[in-house]
Amino acid sequence: MTSRPMASGAADSRPIPVLVGPTGVGKTAVGIELARRFGAEIVSADSRQVYRYMDIGTAKPTAEEQAAAPHHLIDVVDPDVRFSAGEYGRLSREAIQDLADREVPALVVGGAGLYIKALAGGLFDAPEIPRALRQRLANEYRSASTDALHERLSAVDPVSAARIHVNDRQRIERALEVHDATGATLTSWFERPVQSRSRSRGMRLVGLRRDRAALYARTDARVEKMIESGLEAEVRALMDRGYGPGTHAMSTFGYAEMLRYIGGELELKDAVSAIQQRSRQYAKRQLTWFRQTEGIVWITVDEGEDPAGTCEKIIRSFPDLLF
């Protein structure tokens, strides 16, 4: 099936179709099938696929898959760059507007709840921090323990400190970074009015779900496939580029465990087990997030169902999803 001509300006008012769901549920394959059928291009909403050189461990669409359906917001920044949800919101809206200008349907696909919220204009307008300053602050934070950083945050922004778990180093550093760079707390930035909300288009949220046991079995199998596909070699190549344990993106699941394996801290089987466990935990957090999100219509993917079959279910439920 190919796309039908769109009336001029129609794409500006039509709700943006957004395909969501937990890691391992099959969003990539279904999204590509939908895009291929309707001549759409995909705007990725994956918080790890924005990083260059990190392909296998993030299950990034392959070159062949990206040729079948053009993707946007993949390979955006280097692994040592912090990429915020606010930045994603700005870039994703720009990508969608560009597609509308070219009269090409846009399909958002991903599982990063904050990215979806940012696209809708539901996040505060994050302050822009110069890269050199970000790097200097990151180097400063690196020498401190997570507990020490949390205590420091408690002193300057007790509201954020109470909201952020003591072991969530990434969010602790982000809150400190905002304070140290701007002199204002992250809490105060949250309280400022969001200018982009009035410009945001509506979204039509389609969620993919599977039986919990089947989903976890798929995530476990996907980790084993990543190992077979060369995850260790990918991590070593990243290390050769200078991206090691202190690099922001390398703390995510798959990469952190392989770094520990390469460093002799874990046996390979233990590293694989740890990656599988963190993958399942991430899927569980995603499901919790999306259950709390209003407006998602869920499509159940049956065991053995191929992407084409899932697409048919979606099209029957949303005959005007892209048109």
Answer whether 138's CB lies under 8 Å from 111's CB: no
Q: Which two tokens stand for residue 132?
A: 């050199």
What single-letter amino acid sits at 112?
A: A
Answer whether 156's CB lies under 8 Å from 188's CB: no
Domain boundaries, the chain: 10-124+197-317, 131-190
User: Taking 70 as the threshold, does the pLDDT of residue 321 lie above it?
Assistant: yes
- pLDDT at residue 120, as a whole number: 82
Q: How high does pLDDT run on average in the chain?
A: 88
State the Cα–Cα distance between residues 253 and 276, nearest whole angstrom: 9
pTM for the whole structure: 0.76
- pLDDT at residue 13, as a whole number: 62
CATH class of 131-190: mainly alpha
State the Cα–Cα distance between residues 284 and 279, nearest whole angstrom: 9
Q: Where residue 226 falls among pLDDT bands split at 50, 70, 90?
A: very high
Q: Does the domain formed by 10-124+197-317 have CATH 3.10.150.10?
A: no
Q: Identical fold at 10-124+197-317 and 131-190?
A: no
Answer whether 176's CB lies under 8 Å from 152's CB: yes
Per DSSP, which regions of the chain are E strands?
A: 16-20, 41-44, 71-72, 106-109, 203-209, 297-300
Q: Which helix (H) or strand (E) holds 31?
A: helix 27-38
Per-residue pLDDT reduced to its tens digit, 97-124 = 889 889 999 999 999 999 998 888 754 5
User: Taking 50 as the threshold, does the pLDDT of residue 261 lie above it?
Assistant: yes
State the Cα–Cα distance between residues 10 and 100, nearest whole angstrom: 8
